[in-house]
Structure 1
Amino acid sequence: MTASDPPGPRLPNSPPPAGRSRVTLQVIAERLSVSTATVSLALRGSQLVAEATRHRVREIAREMGYSYNRSAASLRTDRTNIIGVGFHDITNPYFAELLAAIDETAGRYDRSILLGTYAEDLDRQQRVLGTLAEYRPDGMVLCSAGGSTVESLAPLIDAGVPIVQLSREIPALDLDFVGADDRHGTNLAMEHLIGLGHRRIAFLCANESISTGRNRYAGYRDALARHGLPFDPALVHFDYGTRENGLKGIQKVLDAHDPPTAAACMNDLAAFGAMLGLRHRGLEAGRDFSIVGCDDVKEAAQWFPALTTIFNFQNDMGAKSAEFLLNRIADPTAPTQRLLLTPALHIRGTTCPPPRR
């Protein structure tokens, strides 16, 4: 057909030609022989509409090229159906797994997530959280940067933004929290190593600027005291839990006057770095030295040898944080919720009795 040809006939119920008219709720309603109110509720994921009808409305809306005007809808309902997520790190697979669980749970309730990351940088965290707030999320799930204080989240709290703290917490804040019992987790690791006969045990990537670091380090100190083992500062490496810092840490403690035969690590990334550091010295985890990680990211079972580690149930943790936030959005005055999941020890190939000297 050339530009001068008259337009051909349109089939009944077919979408309007591009550029002629906009697909509206009324057009979709007429196509399905339902009310515009039903279409509107279905597109917003309302449970007042049967699931089959919601699915059909969305299917037809896609076919007809309908674009949901989220901004207009948020003005009508005072909801954006967006959840802000602020994480200090998603290069660590542990936090990627948490994020995936949040996203999956939010999606089941027809919420979208908006992610901001800020490393361990307090100034960047302030900017990122401010930018997230500009999108008017209905609430936020936050894992704050190291060194965060009450003042760090004050602008969001003062603005009335519902917040759930995830994994890390600022204890002075009366906010919903979902995390693991990190102190207990490190106790599990230490009991395993001590039970194998280790008496000189290092702790790699201790960090007291974050709640997880404080609690895991406290679990290490608890276990030493409980078994009457001396605490030796030369066997502790302070830093954030990364592969690079785990490698540096194992090199440091191996150079101690009386070196350790085992190490508990802040997280799996530090443990992976420590395993590489052992190989730099011609040693192998599970044969010459014992290593225990924490988090049990999927990669942990794939290493050779596979990493003995503490599992924190991060899928449950991420899902629960999203559920807590949705509950807080629905009822801002409800009592604060706090959930500590109990970790589990997964014994694999990187632990063994200490070698004979």
Structure 2
Amino acid sequence: MRLGVYNAILHDRSLPEALKVVADLGLTGIEINSGGFLPAVHIPTFDEILESDAARDDYLAIFEGTGVAIAGLNCNGNPLHPNSAIGDAHAEDVRRSIRLANRLGQHRVVTMSGLPGGEPGATVPNWIVNAWNSAALDAIDYQMGVAAEFWSETDKLARDLDVKVALELHPQNVVFNPANMRELIERTGATNVGVELDASHLFWQQMDPVAVVRDLGPLVFQAAAKDVRINPAASIYGVLDNRFRKLSPEEPRTNLGGDEWANEWPKDSAWDFVALGKGHDVEFWTEFLRALYEVDPEMLVNIEHEDVSLGRIEGLEVASDILKRADAALTESLIR
């Protein structure tokens, strides 16, 4: 398997410094953020690379001799947001990322399917959690139509540029499970749109990531290694726990586009993102890698660190240790 790190956690340092961190972890890939919710910190010459071979070659030269290669681009965002200040910007980031991937000799762009409003003229996204009533299904049908139009056009661009776009199965998107993914493919006939299998969002939905990989098979284009711990509070609040706190402008907060900001996580949360091993052991991650190997022995699997109890490097060290041990166990089992 090809193991690496998603670079957002390393945005506090330069790209060469980030590459050294990844290499020191004994990993060989770095997934580079290219827009969406987060800026493309490690691609300062983005526009120039799209136009200039010299700028492209200069950027690629940064990776030479480091032992770390680009392992896909990531522009997670909401390209279907009904507020054009957000939706149009994120949609353009997806298109630009596809073009950039082609320029850099890359074949994977990770993003999200997006989430529109529930009806024409809506101003905010509407994620319908449980469509038990007919009006909710009507809204979902409208949303899938909006998604199909965007992803039909985007699939053509990706196909023309020999890039595959991997959608993270992330709640608060129209595509967050295999059924949604298959519906999108059926509506669009897409050939170059598939899945980024991030285990973490499947865990808290009470899904089995290994089973999902095997269910989707060749629709899995890339993977993220991120763990989740279900906490005792889940027995009271459930995994749809919604006790978030809105941060004030005076507090440190992360902008998500327009006037939208990340909220503060519940303190006694039902579940948390944690470093690999703190939710599921090496045995689980070995089987996760095995399922991915069955789809593609060269699958890109990148650690995403969002464990707030651990520092940036500390969390990557914990996660990389578990992931490398799982990879070694898989390798040993394959040669027996």
TM-score range, shorter chain: under 0.3
- TM-score normalised according to structure 2 size: 0.28
| TM-score (ref. length: structure 1) | 0.27
